[in-house]
Structure 1
């Protein structure tokens, strides 16, 4: 087995172990976290997610238009940020108008995430193999 394959195998074992170890941690959090809290820098946190999403979209567009295979990586990361943003939009909005706005935003972010996943899984421009 080559060194790269061994490293990949250990990385996958680490990821699988992390998934298993996160289950009891989630139980601890579910039992101990307060249902309400005061958050400092709330606007900075939300703006930060949007900045990450904008940078990810820009990087993916620039790299993708250049035919650079790294666009698949930025697309994947951007999809994750979009899903994260949608999750927090929905779970932190009170029932009513704010939740309706959050649902609309989450639908748009889900569309962005879907486009990013499509790009992350697709080959290079016009069906050509992605460049290296």
Structure 2
């Protein structure tokens, strides 16, 4: 692999290392709770991304277009993010159970993508 092709990978590795102390700072400084403006828009936005990703993957896949792998990967990432936020923002009891069940379904979607 040439040096020209390696530098983006070196930058990614550096970003991974630099994110560790940043996560420690966040863990120590972020409040336990917060009020969020535009909450519905944030959640609907994730679902719009997932629907668009599913549609694009299906469209490209049915045409035999190799780019379906790219949209499938992006859609799987959105499904994992959606599941993460569902679980971490749910309450205890029934809401958490529902979030966990949805996460299983989203993991199935992510795994199939």
- TM score, norm. by length of structure 2: 0.96
Aligned length: 113
Q: Distance in 1 between matches of 2:26 and 2:75?
A: 27
SS where residue 22 of structure 1 aligns?
helix
Is structure 2 residue 40 aligned with structure 1 residue 58?
no
When residues 32 and 96 of structure 1 are mapped into structure 2, their CA distance, relative to the original with a 3 A threshold, is same
Q: Distance in 1 between matches of 2:83 and 2:70?
A: 20
What 5-or-longer segments of structure 2 have no aligned partner? none
Larger Rg: 1
> Where does residue 32 of structure 1 map in the other structure?
29
- Give the RMSD, CA atoms, in angstroms: 1.1
Bigger RCO of structures 1 and 2 (CA < 8 A, at least 6 apart):
1
Q: Distance in 2 between matches of 1:74 and 1:38?
A: 33
> Where does residue 17 of structure 2 map in the other structure?
20
What 5-or-longer segments of structure 1 have no aligned partner? 117-132
- TM score, norm. by length of structure 1: 0.82
